[in-house]
Each structure stands twice: as C-alpha cells, then as structure tokens.
Structure 1
C-alpha cells in the first residue's frame, strides 16, 4: 500500500539463506543483507539474534527480508535495531525487541528498533513487531535540510515509506537514552514525505504515536492507538532547529483511526495536538477517540502559545495510492487480529500485549525486565524450499501449512 507499493524489493534476485543466529559472519543475517544486488533473504533457522547493543545498518538496495519463511518461533532481534539507509527494501515478519541491554540509565544507548535514515525511499515495513526501543520504536528520518531548496529537502529526507500492519509498542521510559525519558512510538522527521502509516497498533508509548515534525507529508489510515502517555498524534515544527530556513506547512490525512486511553493516559489529551511554530493542514474523517470508559475526548488540541494553527481541510491534502480504508468500527478487531510479526505464530510477548490492549490493561514501562526480560527461545531449523513459496511476493502457496508454534494458544 501507499507510495512505496510499486517497489520490487528483492524480487527476481538471488535467494540468500540465513543459516545461523550469529550476530555476523558467514550464514548470518548481517552477511545476507550486506550482499550486493537484488536478493531475497530467507531463514533456515528460528530463534533470537543478539545484536550486542549495536544498530545493524542496511546500505545495499533491492532487498526483501522474508521473516515469514523462518521455522517457528520466527526471528527476534534483541539488544539493537535495524536501520534501512537505502532504497527499495521490504521488511516483513521480523521482531525487534531492543531493551536496555543491561546498560546504566542515561548511558547513551539510544537505539531505534526499526526505521529509515538518509534519503531512504521506496521502503515497506510490513507485519513487524518493534518494542522496547530506547529511542523510537519505528521511524523515518533523513538529512532534513540538504541544500536551500525545500524540494531538495524532501528529496533527501526519507520518502515513499510505508509502515503497515506493525506492532509499535512499549518504548522504554527512563532507560538508557541520554535525555532519560524516551518512550516513543514513531518519529517522522522534518520534511519526510509520502509516508503512509496504516493498520498499525501503537500501544504504551509516552509520546510520538506518531510525532510528525516540520513539513512532513503523511497519511494515517486505520490505526489503533492505545494507552498513549503525554501525547498521541502530534505535529511540531521546532523553530529552534530550523533557524532562518523557510517554514514548510505540514500535511496530514487522518482517517479511520481509533484512539483509546489507558492506565498511562492523562485526562487532558487530544487525538492530534499541535506544538511548535508551523502550520498543519489536517484532514480528519471517521475517527474515534475515547477515554477509558468510552467518553469522547477532543480530536484536536495544542501545546504551544505560538501563532501556529491547524488548518482544517475539507479534502485530503494528500492521499496514498492503493489504500481503501475500512470503517473505523472494524479497526480494533482487524488490527488486533492482523498486526505484528507472524500473527499466525505470535510469541509470548505479542500474545500478552494483544490481550492487554483488548482488555484495557498494561502501562508504559521503563525496562524489559518489568515484563520477564528478553525472550529466551530454543533455536529451530528447517531447510527453505522455494517450491513452497510464491517468490514474486513471498506468500506461501499453502497458507495452511505455515509453521506455527502458537495454534494451541488460540492465536
């Protein structure tokens, strides 16, 4: 879906098999994504890959990461994150659980779970689970102010990026980030554009569910936001960071999205809040925003005394291609059933989180140790058989045969 929908990813390229759970070296995930040329990364192992308190940067384009091919329990990365700093990449059915890596508070381990940087474009993150980040859980960044032309700024920021069907949750507050409090969902950085956020679950993030910074052009369709802390969706052009550059008007289309307050949510909260100094063109349709007992809460608010304003649009300022929104009444059930990595084979933490959202439980956490710590999974192995898969889109030819370790849990 969205502006990135036409990316080929690694379609038609070499099949690269991940054969071990090592951090790097032959047969590792790191070696697979570093291979040059179009490629489809598949997994002949399942289990946990420890990134050793580092970020794994993907710099080679034309890549599909097919986590759905792993044997149960799938692939989970811990103590680090994945950064896509290139173009034409599809990432599916991967779990990233960053955590504090056992490091001291305020030690400077500031790590996104998953996202883009530089001028990354035509990137799709679909059906992933990203939690316990010490920076953002899932973001789109870039150069922001390359040159003096705003069109150049947008070209050099992340653009044509889709976040679809992901669980984006439980960012750690008061952990290892240098600024201390940093439980954040998604940061869509200044001038990022053609960003689609669709069918995702945001849960238990203090802020940035998401934060759209100055000049961002984005669409949010059919997301479920549960238990935000200080803010849910917010827009903020920070003049202190823009200097003498010409402020750009942000553009946001927000349709069919549900906001439910939780235990961590303050009473004075709006679905979309305006901060900073720049104006935001906002189109809203068919949304629900309620407190813990179902009473409506405001759709818009502000946390600035500047002249910045929300410009209410009668028509969307932008609309993503290949997206047909569902009615908002269907969003909660759809998202809880479909979001996250391997919904047919959810791990313990995803099952727990989904149950908490459904029942109105859970809260913002400071450490993964509040939730039994990092996952410990017995490694599994199974040869990859290309005859079992439609290699053009990495869907199984027989979905009923998908390897599942969770059917007994009713997931």
Structure 2
C-alpha cells in the first residue's frame, strides 16, 4: 500500500469562524462556503465537493461547546441535508493521486443536536466499466458508470467529544492511471427529519485508526506534563487486535528511536527535561505480525515560569529556548514597525523570544499593540534607570506568555472631533497558559485589565489604580466608568494584587456562557487588597468561584458595603456558586460617621464574612435559583500559598506592581494611601475623593518622572547580545563573547532566565570595598506597626560584614577582596500586629 506517500489531513471548518479557533492540531483548515459545489487544493491534490442531487446543498456547521471542550476536528464540518424524496449525498472528486494503493478516512460526527435514529452511510467508488449491449442484430461494447461499494452501514455519531469515538469510514482503493477518483457518500435509510450527512474531515494514506494506538497520555501537544523526577508513564488505548507495541521516542519528530517493545499499553519514559520537547509513536502489532504505524505525538515536561509563579498559569513557557530581542528605541510606528522598537519585537520577530530593554522612558504607543504569537517573555525588569512606561494605547498579551514588570498608564486623549478615545489597558483575553506578574496599570478609560475567555491564567502581584472615572466614555459620556478589571478564566488565578482608587469592577467576574449556553468560568480570587472603590466592588458572575482571604478596605469614596455581589442574571443554564472564606471588609470612618470604638479618619472596624452584610447575591431576568449559591467547600485547589486576609494586606503592600528596576512615585502613593486610608486627589467632575476623572486631576504625576529619562545601556553592556550583561556573565561563569542564554543550569532554568529571576527581586550592583546601606522599611511597607527585621542568613567573613539597627537600616561593609561574586541576604519582617511575616531576598553583585 502506498500509505503515507500522499498523506494529507483536512479539517472541514465552519466558514464563519477563524481557522485558529476551530482547526484541529496538525490538520489543514478548509472553511467550506454554502453552495452546490466547492473546490480546493491540498498538498498536490485537487479536491472537488459537490451534491449529485439537484436540490441538495453543502453547508458548514459547528457544535460550539465541542470546539471549546472537546475535539476541534469532529465538532464542526460540512453537512448535506436531504431534499424531498432523496437521501443526502455528497460526491468527492480527487485529482492528483499517484498510481498505487491508497486509503481515505472520513469522520462522521453530526454537530446538530439531533436525537433518535440516524441513517447510516454507504461509501462507494464511481468506476467505469465496459458492457456489451445488443443493438439490432449487432452486439456492441460501450462505457458505463457503476458504483463499487467500499463500505456500508457506517454509523454516524452525534456530538461525540472525542475524534477517536466518532463515526468513521475507512476505505482502500487502487489508482492505476491519472484519472480522477470519485467517491460517493450516501445515506442508507428512510427519508426523515434526521436524514443528515456529515463529514468533519478527511485523512489520506494513513493507517486505519481502529488498528492504531489512540487517546495518548500525555495528550498530544501537552506542553505542561507533570514529569516529576524526569519521569512520566506514557499510556494509550491499544488498537483493535494489538498483541505487541513498538515504542519510539525522540526530541524531533523525524528522528525517533525505538526504545522498547511491550505487551502492555504503557511505558515509563525517564531522563526527561523541561528544556526539551519529546516526540513519541506507538506502532501496533497484531497476531499475524501486521504493523499499524501510529501517529507521532509530542509533549513537554512542565516547570514553573519563574520562582514564585503560582496559580493556574504558573507553568507558562514564555520565550524559553528562543531568541533574544533588544528594545533600543522608544519610538513606535504601527504602520511600519522599525527594528529596535517594542512593536517590532512583538509583531515582526518570529518564534519563541525574550524581549529585554536597553532604554528607559516613555513609549507612546500610537495604536493598540497586540501580541498574537505564543511563547514570548517580556522582561520589563531589564530596563535601565527607572524603567519603561507605556501610554496612549493598550497592550494585549498572548498565550504561553510571561509578562513581568510592565508599567502602563494610558491617559485621556481626544480624537479629531474632540471626543474622548475610549481605551482599556492590559489584556489577556482568550489567552491560555499566561502569567502576568508585577505589572502596574492605570489611568484607563474603559477598564484597566481584561481576561475574558482566558484559560490557565495567573495574574499576581499587580497594581491597578486610578481608572479614570467620569472621563467621557464613548458609550457612557456622563457616567462613572472608572473600572479596574473584567476577568475570565478556566481556571483564572488572581492573587496578591492591589486595586486602589477604582470606581467599579473590583473585580467584575466575566465567566460568560459555554457553547451550550451554560454558565462558564472558574475563578480563584485570593489574597487581593482593594481600597477605596466607589459603588461597585466585586460583582458579575462565573460558574465556580473561590473567594478567599481578600482584604477590602473602604475609602472616602466608597458607597457599596458588599465586597461581593453575585449577580445571577438569568442569561444561561446551570449554576453559579461561590466559596467565601476568611475575607475582611475594613470600614471607613470619617468625622461625620463614626463606628463605636473607631478612630475618626483612620482605621475602622474589621468585618468578617457574613451573608447579607459583606456579600450577597441578586437575581434578574427571571433567574430561578434552585441550587446553593454559597458553599462551604472550595471548588478546586489554588496551587499557591494562600494567606489570611490580614497577612495578605501587609504582604501585598510590601511587594506589588512594577517595582523593578524600581517602584515609581505613583505606585508609592497608592501603597501609602491604602495603608493610611487617605487620598491626595479629587475627581474634577464627580468630586469623589481619590477617584480622579482625568489624569490632569493628578497633575500627570505618573508621567513626570519618566518624561526626562535618557537612560540607555552602553554599547559594551552585552557584547554577545544574549540578554545578559558582560559583568553578569563574568560572575555567573558564562562566556560574554558567545551567546549562551539558552544554556541549561542545574535548576532547569536557562542562564538567561536565572539572570531575569535575579533582577526580579531587590538587587544591588556595587564594587568591592564599598559600604551598602539598605532601608528595609521601603521593602516591607505593609509592616508599619513597629516593624522588627531579622537577618535569616549571614555572609562569609571574606565577603564582608553586616549590621542591622533598630530602625531597619541594614549596612553591609564589603571586603576589598570580595570582588566578582554574588551574595544573597534573606531578611524577615514582622510587626506588633503579629498576624504575618514576610521573608525577602536581597541580591548583591560585587564587581571589581
């Protein structure tokens, strides 16, 4: 058989959706438009679809929930509906097949929501034959077309979620010349309402899937496999009649090596590394010794994106193993991005990549910047001086992305007609396996952050502040619309963030609906700090929500006492439920409204979770509640260290936002206002304390310290352009003249990642013999009640001496002979409240 000689895989898609949304892995998308005929080319073949019956037409359709949760191949396809008195038929004409033995596999999974009896399918090949007929007294030969039945009684499935369990027809045929091959698919059975013929996809010249290995674990293209200890047990569904299994493994799909022959449908692979992709194949052997070659699958062992990555996006890959791109210019040209600009690195460079910054200052984005590619790391901590600030337009992230220490404060701008340009801030809508860490965003006009329809998202240690309130939103010109975030995820982890001085959506839970119209979304909201919201705290809805250890501190503008309002809006089927535990609302007190025992203008009463007091649910649009909205058990694990709300308050305010290479004055103000329950600015239109309506209300203070920045890395900073400066490579023992950014270390992080992780914590670069003074209070701002600092380790005498006084000033006197080394100092903070402690690491690089 000439199998694989012209192996092709076609996925018939619904024509109205983007191919990236509906196409199966390793299949070529074909979106078929409605009509009697459709023609396309595929891998040297010319394929024509048509309907032999006059009144029948070809349509494309889909099962949305199947696309979202099941198999993309068999959750959409082409459909032929019957005409009066005729069963549905489809004819496929194939030109370009080489002489030899061929096979054709078709999938038949009905995507319409049908029930009852479904007619089966007969598959035949149109063949020419010579027949002898009598004409008068003569017998003559003439050509006639006949149907050679190749398969029949093929069962169609209905909305099956796995391709391996879907209806399938598999035929084999010979090609002897260059004539087209014509295959007929025709329903068998009576004409009724379910008389529907569906083909989801075609596969040429591959083994019959019933005889091959199926349903692998790890799943094909799973890039986050738990391979603890470098081991994983490979498993699969054995092919029909398989007696033995040949196992092949390699680091390239075209370089597989046979590693074992087994009698069981499993094999333990060892010696695996998270730095590598692994490809594997199982060939099935039946009792007669016939070998059915399997598909090539791939996987990658998972590893934390960086130390401290938590939640469901913690295994994002980012640009690991890829190239390094240097941002050397603050310019932005959306129409013609130039090398050296951030936009060029995001939109023009291809492949996995890590983006580092060689300049500091403001990048005025002239249009929305969208990261469409997966596998990108944007490392804002690499910028010199005070770092980078983005403004004017939003920045959208991509899947498998690692985005850290990015600062965006949009600002209010008018179009040529004098109307406010309504824009959001940072976004991860539709992203999968993405982590956003230590970013700062504010002064937006729609909402500062969005992750609708995301999956496996982590949003941690970020600061959302001062969303512009009554700022002339294009749809709500005179309304208060200073919104923090609308969040989605399945599962989305949102933890250790500070939301300060935002009118609403603190958070807005945007779980949405799945393809079948059921409430969707799973959100894990824990250890967040929210200060001075207006009339909306956390609201909206999702299918399952953990709401744990959050600290909501009312401010002078706060008028909504409920920190969570579960809004059951009657828009979907199913349920929306919440696990509430260990949350705190701190009441605001001023001179006019005092709670008993509270101090005016300072700290009010701490109120724990209580339905009807700190949280509630509301219904609308006829929503019938026939389930328990608030449950007593969490829905899923957090995969993080979850603290008490009071501990979170101190620890979030000690380490939040884009604080590397340094925390800016705006973020310092947000931390101080949250700590003290104060405000500095007032909305010019609303008069609301702390909720500004225009960046001018704050005197553009978040921009001023960046406008005059001219910091730029010198030409000899990174000789080999591998993202690591020469001085670091000398200390780390790598070669500053040869790019070794992707060289693996003992901890399975690359050399470049180790440098980026070092920059992500407080760090200092100094020379031997110098004296370094660190005010620890700046790094533990949340511990403001008579803090106590403790050194958790010591340094070697040859490196120097340390002294810590009662005021939290750490002095490090470095030895004159201590050059060319890296020192780590661990400090723990507590205070008289005795509700928490925090340990932070301070890195010191000592150069000559």
TM-score exceeds 0.5? yes
In the TM superposition, residue 109 of structure 1 has moved relative to its aligned partner by 2.1
**Aligned CA distance change for structure 1 residues 399 and 204 (closer, same or farther; 3 Å):** closer
In the TM superposition, residue 344 of structure 1 has moved relative to its aligned partner by: 6.2
1:128 paired residue among 439, 458, 479: 439
The answer to whether the aligner puts 1:264 opposite 2:563 as a matched pair is no
Shift in Å at residue 216 of structure 1? 2.3
Shift of 1:123: 1.0
Q: Which residue pairs with 1:245 in the alignment?
A: none
Q: What residue is the counterpart of 1:251 in the other structure? A: 544
1:369 maps to what in 2?
696
1:317/1:232 CA distance change after superposition, 3 Å: same
Deviates more, 1:370-379 or 1:358-367: 370-379
Q: Which residue of 2 aligns with 1:220?
A: 525
Note the C-alpha offset of 1:274: 2.1
Change (3 A) 1:329 1:13: same
Q: Is the 8 A contact 1:253 1:319 kept in 2?
A: no
Q: Which residue of 278, 281, 291 corresponds with 2:577? A: 281
Deviation at 1:116, TM superposition (A): 1.6
- Give, in whole Å, the separation in 1 of the partners of 2:416 and 2:677: 31
CA distance in 1 between partners of 2:534 and 2:408 (Å): 22
Q: Which has the higher strand share?
A: 2
Q: Is the 8 A contact 1:50 1:78 kept in 2?
A: yes
**2: distance between equivalents of 1:367 and 1:314?**
43
After TM superposition, the structure 1 = structure 2 runs for residues 59-98 of structure 1, keeping only pairs within 5 Å, are: 59-84=372-397, 86-98=398-410
Q: Once the 2 structures are TM-superposed, how far is the Cα of residue 299 of structure 1 from its aligned partner?
A: 2.5
Is 1:185 the counterpart of 2:484 in the alignment?
A: yes
Name the residue aligned to 1:352: 669
Aligned residue for 1:194, secondary structure, equals strand
Q: Which moved more, 1:224-233 or 1:289-298?
A: 289-298
Q: Would you say the 8 A contact 2:390–2:407 is kept in 1?
A: yes
Q: Is 2:512 the partner of 1:197?
A: no
Structure 1 residues 73-93: Cα deviation after superposition (integer angstroms, max 9, x where no partner): 111001111012x31111100
Q: Distance in 1 between matches of 2:416 and 2:631?
A: 47
For the Cα contact (< 8 Å) 1:186–1:210, is it kept in 2?
yes
Offset of 1:250 from its aligned partner?
1.5
When residues 402 and 288 of structure 1 are mapped into structure 2, their CA distance, relative to the original with a 3 A threshold, is farther
Paired residues of 2:420 and 2:471 also in contact (CA < 8 A): no
TM norm structure 1: 0.84
Aligned to 2:711: 380
Cα distance in 1 for partners of 2:777, 2:615 equals 40
1:276 Cα deviation (Å)?
A: 4.1
TM-score by length of 2: 0.42
Change (3 A) 1:372 1:334: same
Aligned-pair distance for 1:408? 12
CA pair 93-106 structure 1, distance change in 2 beyond 3 A: same
CA contact (8 A) 1:8 1:88 kept: yes
Q: How big is each residue's C-alpha offset from its partner over 1:291-312, in whole Å with a ceiling of 9 and x where there is no partner?
A: 1142327221245455465612
User: Does the alignment pair 1:329 with 2:646?
Assistant: yes
Q: Indicate the residue corresponding to 2:787 in structure 1.
A: none
Superposition CA RMSD, Å: 2.6
Q: Whose helix fraction is larger, Structure 1's or Structure 2's?
A: 1
Rg comparison, structure with higher value: 2
Q: Residue 491 of structure 2 aligns to a residue in which SS?
A: strand
CA distance in 2, matches of 1:19, 1:208: 36
Distance, in Å, in 2 between the alignment partners of 1:43 and 1:63 is 14
* Aligned counterparts of 1:21 and 1:198: Cα–Cα separation in 2: 32
1:206 aligns with 2:503: yes
- Which residues of structure 2 form unaligned runs of 5+? 1-309, 513-519, 590-603, 680-689, 719-723, 730-750, 767-773, 780-848
Q: Is the 8 A contact 1:4 1:122 kept in 2?
A: yes
Q: Give 5+ residue unaligned stretches, structure 1.
A: 142-156, 237-248
Relative to structure 1, is the Cα distance of residues 292 and 106 closer, same or farther in structure 2, using a 3 angstrom cutoff? farther
Aligned partners of 2:424 and 2:352: how far apart in 1? 26
What is the CA-CA distance between 1:399 and the residue it aligns to? 4.8
Residue in structure 1 matched with residue 344 of structure 2 by the alignment: 31
Q: Secondary structure at the match of 2:365?
A: strand
**Deviation sequence 1:334-357 (CA, Å, 0-9, x none):** 111111002561112111211111
Counterpart secondary structure, 1:73: coil
Counterpart Cα distance in 2 of 1:104 and 1:351: 35
Distance 1:108 1:55 in 2: 16
Q: How many residues align?
A: 375
Is structure 2 residue 365 aligned with structure 1 residue 51?
Answer: yes
Deviations 1:313-353 (A, max 9, x none): 221112232x0112222111111111100256111211121
Distance 2:765 2:378 in 1: 17
Distance apart, 1:407 and its partner CA: 7.7
- The higher-RCO structure (CA 8 Å, 6+ apart) is 1
Give the CA deviation at 1:97: 0.2
Distance between the aligned counterparts of 1:140 and 1:272, measured in 2? 19
Cα distance, 1:108 vs structure 2: 5.6
Residues 258-317 of structure 1 show CA distances to partners (whole Å, capped at 9, x for unaligned) of 001001101x42111022425421111111112114232722124545546561222111
- Where 2:392 maps in the other structure, the secondary structure is strand
Of stretches 389-398 and 31-40 in structure 1, the one that deviates more from structure 2 is 389-398
Q: Residue by residue, what CA displacement relative to the aligned partner does 1:142-195 show, whole Å, maximum 9, x if unpaired?
A: xxxxxxxxxxxxxxx211111100001111112142123321111025xx4211
SS of the counterpart of 2:332? Answer: coil
